[in-house]
Amino acid sequence: MTIKKHLILSSIFFLLPSIFFLNPNNLKQLFYSEIFIIFIIPVILMISLFLIDKFLYFLLKKNFFYIIIFYSSLLYFSSFFYAFVTKYIFYFQILILLTFFIFTKKYSEIFFKTIIIFFVINLFYLIFNINKSDQTNVISYDDTYSNYKNEDKIDNNIYFIILDGMNSIESMTDNNINLSKKFKNFKKNLIKNDFIYLENSFSSYNTTYLSLASIFYNNYPVNENSNQYPNRDLFFPNFFIKNHNNISLINFLENNNYNFSWIGNNFRPDSLAPQHSLLKNKNLISKYFYQNISLIFLFFENSYIDGILRKIINLKNKNTKNIDNNDAILKLTNFINSKNFHKSSKNYFFVHHIYPHTPFVLNKDCTYKKQVDENFENGYLDNYLCTLNKINDLINLLSKKDPNSIVVLQADHGWELNKKNSQDSQYLFTKDRIEIFNAVKLPEKYKKFATKKLDNVNTSRLLNSIILNVEPNLLEKKTFFGYYEFQNSANYGKVKLYEN
């Protein structure tokens, strides 16, 4: 087989894992800049090998390195089978190399044409799915607050803190009787700092992308009568790019001279909405690598390259805290303690703290585990107890630094305590999944509205009313069950009403 054909096949084998990764389920969650990252990874590898090839040719005056590039591409491609043949990956890769060596020697033309046809079919399938994923108009908008202005407004700082997947205290107490005293003392500290803890609270939806969208739209964006949506383009967080001009909350805050600041996490980094990010990263490498590191790890999840990357950056060691972008409360705390912070300065801080959700990397005292805890029961409890400590520290800090602030501590959904792994979807439609932690600190005149009616949607609407210093316009509280892409369900894109 010629050098040209070897290089063509090398390119194909480098690109195939990216094409396989961009399946219909993943495409529903990604936007074009992330698709670009998935393709730029193998391109960088190919360019690096090509430059090494040229350098060796310059030194040795022999053009044999194309063979090394070809077999390197095979090793790269076959590494993505690691999750399926973990113990035998070495033998599997040797078998792959020997098989391809035989085919390229004896049946080179047939082999070449077969691989080209296979690649073209998959490429066209990818293009078809990208084009098919265009969004339709499925959102129910509510403009009650979008264009509302009132001169008699407040200037308090507002902190809307999302505690991802945080169960209610009463649910955790029922399942951990030995910790009931700790939970009771935590609630006492909330009350001491003028918080109201809302028992029997429910999220607006059972998924993050829908619950957070409901906060930003100040409404239930989809209901049981809505058209089926094909992807997440109009929901959190993709709407920051795909539908930014129609986000009710952001339009409202701009109209009323409130500065909106976003503090995110590793799953959807701050760079997603750079115009709103409180912590703008000036380091180019950090911005495009570390802030997209979760996507890169997800791409290499089935390859042993994932483990190599993690060891290189010490993600599994206690040094994790140096690059851990998930601790949004820590980032907020650091900002409050900085010289750039000012109390009562019309700031609306939206903080998406990933814990107690996975990854289970924290001990209950908030030190880092040596590796990710695969035990969902113990891992969740440790993350939960650490989050309680984080909350205590934050509210004590705010009582000193910003005593007149308005604070919401609220989960986007609950957690299935019997869940065994991240793909265990049978618990997505249970009461545990929608029963949430919910605590608020409000001005005196608005405390009477702190009832179990305050789900994600109505809490957002209440905060808007407080900013305007007007009577709140709350909606009839509802909770919906939605679906995730990995469920491979024909119901993805629909929601159903929860009936208690």
Query: What are the pLDDT digits (tens) for 218-234?
Result: 999 999 999 888 888 78
Residues in the chain with pLDDT < 50? 282-284, 315-323
Distance, C-alpha 284 to centroid of its chain: 21
Q: How far apart are CA 65 and CA 6, in angstroms?
A: 11
Tell me which DSSP letter residue 368 carries: B
Q: So what's the pLDDT on residue 22?
A: 83
Nearest alpha carbon to residue 264 among 391, 410, 164: 164
Query: In one letter, which amino acid is 480?
Result: F
Q: So what's the pLDDT on residue 315?
A: 47
Q: How far apart are CA 478 and CA 204, in angstroms?
A: 6
Cβ atoms of 214 and 220 closer than 8 Å:
yes
Q: So what's the pLDDT on residue 322?
A: 41
Tokens 């760079």 belong to: 271
Looking at the domain 158-497, which fold is it?
Answer: Alkaline Phosphatase, subunit A (3.40.720)
Q: How far apart are CA 122 and CA 184, in angstroms?
A: 57
Alpha-carbon distances of 351 from 113, 140, 198, 320, rounded to whole Å:
53, 25, 20, 20
pLDDT tens digits for range 142-156 = 777 666 666 666 789
Q: So what's the pLDDT on residue 435?
A: 94
Q: So what's the pLDDT on residue 284?
A: 46
Tell me which DSSP letter residue 135 carries: -
Q: How far apart are CA 258 and CA 157, in angstroms?
A: 9
Q: So what's the pLDDT on residue 382?
A: 94
Cβ atoms of 231 and 475 closer than 8 Å:
no
Neighbouring-strand partners of residue 201: 436
Structure tokens at 247: 């986000």
pLDDT tens digits for range 44-82 = 888 888 787 777 777 776 666 777 788 788 888 888 877
